[in-house]
Each structure stands twice: as structure tokens, then as C-alpha cells.
Amino acid sequence: MKRSWINEAEIFSKNFFAHDTSGHDWEHTNRVRNQAVEIARIEGADTELCEIGALLHDVIDEKFHSSKSEGELVVQAWMTKQAIPEKLQTNIISMISSVAFQGGNNQSPPSLEGAVIQDADRLDAIGAVGIARCFMYAGNKGTPMYTPGQAVRESMSEGDYRDRSAAAITHFYEKLLLLKDLMNTETGKKRAEVRHERLLTYLDDFYSEWEGTT
């Protein structure tokens, strides 16, 4: 792996997400990169593969393209421009094409490196940063922070569920609190436990302040 490919991937991803307001700004990718490299070191995965994969993991995501294959084509075209060998290109594509929570349909990622990147991406959705991203997302969509009685999916109307207009707190129950059980690596699991506790503490604090009991 050439260091210059990683540097170019950083520039590519930075430009790609320059104007993002969907919770996938460049800083998200940068945190996932740092987290992935850290987990890779501990788990004995290939740190450079994890680094370039993390840098490209959202560029390939189908929600930023008209289809899954369109996302893959964009990343592939960029790699070809960088003269990255074909075998490595195939490796990178398969490593990151199943990272997304939804896009991947919960399939296990194919390699240890894919598993590390997926863990790093999921960790960024929980804990203190995850909470901040959740409220930023809700603010951006113009949805409320909390609608009493709408904390769980069963209590939401089908329409609310589909157009994701439910309150930010609902999203904790829909996704954030489920992530710790979806971690792949031991390191990811340990880190998710810590961040999961932060979500629970936060919810306790939130409800007690909402009710005015503290």
C-alpha cells in the first residue's frame, strides 16, 4: 500500500463530503479512520487497508448514489485513476461494500478489515459523539428532540416510521441502543459497551430533566 494512495483517498473523501449535512461530514469519516486504525492495531488487522477503507467507506455508500453499483463504480474509477492494482481494488471494494448498517442488510463483512471498519463506523453512532450526531440529524430534518409516548417503534404510526420523521430520542431505540450487539471484534464490543452506558446514562438524565425531577 502506498502512503500516497491514503493521502489521495483523504483528499477525495474530504471533497466528496465537503457540503454534507446528513451526519456524514468529513469529520465523521476522519473519526472512523482514526478508530479503525486503532482497532486494527489491537486486533492485528492490516492497518493501512483499514485506513484506506475507512476513508472510502461512505463515498461508496449507496445512499449517496443512484444505486449500490453506481457507488462502487465511483470508487473504482477513482482507484483506477490512482493506478491502484486491480487485485487491491477488488479487495478494497469487497471490504467496504457491506459496511453500511442498512445497505449491508446486516451481512457480516467479508474480512477482518471489513469487520474493523464496520465496528469503527458503528462506534461513531453511539456514545457522546453519536448522541450529538443524532440531534444534529434531527435538527437538520426539522424533527423534534423528543415526543413523549413516541419512544418505541410500536408506538409510532407507520407513516412516521417510514419517513423517519420520528423524534431524535426514538432513534435511540430504533438503532443506537441496538448497535452494541452488532459489533464484530472484541475491541469493538468493549468500546461499544462503554459508549452504550453513556447512552443509557444520557437517557436517564434526559427524562429526569424533561419531567423536571432533577
Residues that bind ligand ADP (CB under 6 A): 23, 100-102, 121, 125, 130, 133-134, 137-138, 164, 168, 171, 175
* Residue 139, H or E segment: helix 127-141
CA distance 39 to 78: 26
Q: Please tell me the count of residues contacting Ni ion according to CB under 5 A.
A: 2
Dist CA 85 CA 121 (whole Å): 26
Rounded CA gap, 198 and 194, in Å? Answer: 7
Closer residue to ligand ADP in complex, CB, 175/198: 175
Which SS3 state, helix, strand or coil, does residue 42 take?
Answer: helix
Closest approach of Cβ 148 to ligand ADP, in Å?
Answer: 17
Query: Among 43, 58, 113, 119, which residue sits at the site for Ni ion (rule: CB under 5 A)?
Result: 58
Among 24, 22, 86, 77, residue whose Cα is nearest residue 55:
24
Out of Ni ion, ligand ADP, none, what residue 113 binds, judged by CB under 5 to 8 A for its kind, is none
Q: Which does 183 bind (CB under 5 to 8 A by kind): ligand ADP, Ni ion, none?
A: none
The type of residue at 170 is T
Nearest-CB residue for ligand ADP? 23
How far apart are alpha carbons 69 and 16 in whole angstroms?
Answer: 17
* CB-nearer residue toward ligand ADP: 60 or 100: 100
Name residues contacting Ni ion, limited to 107-126 (CB under 5 A): 121
The rounded distance, in Å, linking the Cα atoms of 132 and 121 is: 15
Q: Which is nearer to ligand ADP, 84 or 99 (CB)?
A: 99
In the complex, minimum distance from the CB of residue 179 to ligand ADP, in angstroms, rounded to a whole number: 9
- State the binding partner of 100 from Ni ion, ligand ADP, none, CB within 5 to 8 A by kind: ligand ADP
Query: Of all residues in this chain, which one has the CB nearest to Ni ion in the complex?
Result: 121
Containing 192, the helix (H) or strand (E) segment is: helix 186-211
Q: Rule CB under 5 A: which residues touch Ni ion?
A: 58, 121
